[in-house]
C-alpha cells in the first residue's frame, strides 16, 4: 500500500516504486557487533533515526532486534534494510513452499546490492518485479553517475554505503573547504551531498557524538557551486570493492 508523501516527509524520505517511503538517512552497522551495535542502534533511534542497515553476514541482526525492542519504538514505524548473502540464496525444493510465503509477507520492498548496470539489465529482463533499491558504494570520489542515472530511469532508489569514504574523505581539502563555508562538519557535508543527489545515505558509526552529528543533515543545504565542487572530485575510487568483474 502506498504511503502518503507530505511536504515534511518529502525532505526525509524517498518513495519506492511500490509506494513505500524509505528514510533518506540510515545507520550503517557493518562490523558493529555485540554491545557496541546494541548501543549504537539505541542511540540512533533515540535521536530520530528510523532506518537501520544490516545484513545476515554482519552477524548482528539479533542484537539490532534487541535494541529495537528496548527502544520502545513501534517496529512498524521503522525501516530495516537487510541483505541475504549469496551463500544463503539456494533453498532446497522441499522447503520452498514453507519458507517463501513468510518472506513475501515480511518484506515491504525488495532490492539488490553491488549491482552494476549490466547486472541490473540482466535482472530486469528476467524478472516480474524490478528491484526497488540498489545498495552500492557512493561518495564524491566514486559518484557512480552513470549507474545512478540508470537506476533513476528504472525507478530504483540508490542506497549509498560508505558515504564518508570509510573516513578518508573527511580529510579531503575540498570537502573541508565546503564544510568551513557551511559551518558544518565534513561528514555532514558528505551526507548532505548524497541526500541532494537523491540517494539514501548509510553512515556507519558506533560513537554517540558521530551518530548524533550524522543525523543533523536536514537543516541546511549545499549550493549549486558546492555540489559542483564535490561532484568534480570523482576519480572512480573504490574503498570497498568493485562488482565490475562479477559475471
* pLDDT tier, 1 (very low <50, low <70, confident <90, very high otherwise): low
Residue 64 has pLDDT above 90, yes or no: yes
* Percent share of the chain, pLDDT over 70: 94
Q: Sign (positive/negative) of CA torsion 150, 112, 50, 239?
A: negative
By CB neighbour count within 10 A (0-12 exposed, 13-18 middle, 19+ buried), where does 127 fall? exposed
Residue 100 has pLDDT above 70, yes or no: no
CA angle 103–104–109, rounded 5-degree value:
100
For 105-154, how does the pLDDT look when each residue is reduced to its tens digit (9 = 90+)? 778 899 999 999 999 999 999 999 999 999 999 999 999 999 999 999 99
**Residues acting as catalytic residues:** 58
* pLDDT tier, 222 (very low <50, low <70, confident <90, very high otherwise): very high
Domain range for residue 59? Answer: 20-88+101-232
Can you tell me the distance from the alpha carbon of 155 to that of 150, in angstroms, rounded to the nearest whole number? Answer: 9
Question: Could you tell me if residue 245 is inside a domain?
Answer: no
For 180-215, how does the pLDDT look when each residue is reduced to its tens digit (9 = 90+)? 999 999 999 999 999 999 999 999 999 999 999 999
Helix H segments across 7-135?
A: 9-12, 34-46, 61-71, 93-106, 117-125
How is residue 164 written as a grid cell?
Answer: 564518508
Question: Could you tell me if residue 132 is inside a domain?
Answer: yes
Question: Could you tell me if residue 7 is inside a domain?
Answer: no
- Helix 186-196, helix 208-215: angle, nearest 10: 40
Place of cell 518484506: 107
Question: Could you tell me if residue 207 is inside a domain?
Answer: yes
Q: What is the pLDDT of residue 98?
A: 34
Structural domain tally of the chain? Answer: 1
Question: Could you tell me if residue 224 is inside a domain?
Answer: yes
Question: Could you tell me if residue 206 is inside a domain?
Answer: yes
Name the E strands within the chain. Answer: 13-15, 21-23, 27-28, 51-53, 79-81, 112-113, 133-137, 157-161, 200-202
Place of cell 530520530: 48
Residue 99 has pLDDT above 80, yes or no: no
Domain of residue 56, CATH code: 3.20.20.100
**Which of 196, 192, 117, 111 is closest to 150 using CA atoms?**
117
* pLDDT tier, 241 (very low <50, low <70, confident <90, very high otherwise): confident
DSSP string computed for 183-196: TS-HHHHHHHHHHH
Q: What is the pLDDT of residue 217?
A: 98
Q: What is the dihedral of CA 72, 57, 217, 223, to 10 degrees?
A: -160
**Which of 220, 184, 211 is closest to 175 using CA atoms?**
184
**Which of 240, 215, 228, 236 is closest to 174 using CA atoms?**
228
Q: What is the pLDDT of residue 199?
A: 98
Q: Is 0.85 topped by the overall pTM? A: yes
Residue 95 has pLDDT above 80, yes or no: no
| Phi-psi label, residue 25: left if phi above 0, alpha if psi -120 to 50, beta otherwise | beta
Q: What is the pLDDT of residue 103?
A: 46
Q: What is the pLDDT of residue 90?
A: 60
Taking residues 217-230, report their average pLDDT. 98
* pLDDT tier, 85 (very low <50, low <70, confident <90, very high otherwise): confident
Residue 96 vs residue 208, higher pLDDT: 208
Question: Could you tell me if residue 241 is inside a domain?
Answer: no
Q: What is the pLDDT of residue 4?
A: 77
Q: Which residues, 6 or more positions from 99, have their beta carbon under 8 angstroms from its beta carbon? A: 91
Question: Could you tell me if residue 14 is inside a domain?
Answer: no
Amino acid at each position: 500500500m502506498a504511503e502518503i508523501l507530505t511536504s515534511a516527509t518529502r525532505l526525509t524520505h524517498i518513495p519506492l516504486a511500490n509506494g513505500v517511503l524509505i528514510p533518506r538517512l540510515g545507520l550503517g552497522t557493518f562490523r558493529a557487533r555485540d554491545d557496541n551495535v546494541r548501543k549504537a542502534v539505541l542511540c540512533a533511534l533515540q535521536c530520530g533515526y528510523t532506518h537501520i542497515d544490516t545484513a545476515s553476514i554482519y552477524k548482528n541482526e539479533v542484537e539490532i532486534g534487541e535494541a529495537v525492542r528496548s527502544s520502545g519504538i513501534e517496529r512498524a514505524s521503522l525501516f530495516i534494510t537487510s541483505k541475504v548473502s549469496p551463500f544463503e540464496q539456494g533453498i532446497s525444493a522441499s522447503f520452498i513452499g514453507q519458507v517463501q510465503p513468510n518472506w513475501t509477507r515480511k518484506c515491504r520492498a525488495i532490492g539488490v546490492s553491488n549491482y552494476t548496470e549490466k547486472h541490473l539489465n540482466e535482472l530486469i529482463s528476467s524478472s516480474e518485479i524490478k528491484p526497488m533499491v540498489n545498495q552500492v558504494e557512493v561518495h564524491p570520489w566514486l559518484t557512480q553517475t552513470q549507474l545512478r542515472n540508470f537506476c533513476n530511469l528504472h525507478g530504483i532508489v540508490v542506497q549509498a554505503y560508505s558515504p564518508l569514504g570509510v573516513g578518508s574523505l573527511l580529510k579531503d581539502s575540498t570537502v573541508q573547504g565546503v564544510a568551513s563555508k557551511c559551518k558544518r562538519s565534513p561528514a555532514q557535508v558528505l551526507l548532505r551531498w548524497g541526500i541532494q543527489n537523491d540517494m539514501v545515505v548509510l553512515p556507519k558509526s558506533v560513537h554517540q557524538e558521530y551518530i548524533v552529528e550524522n543525523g543533523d543533515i536536514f537543516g541546511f543545504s549545499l549550493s549549486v557551486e558546492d555540489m559542483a565542487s564535490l561532484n568534480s572530485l570523482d576519480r572512480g575510487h573504490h574503498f570497498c570493492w568493485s562488482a565490475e568483474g562479477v559475471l
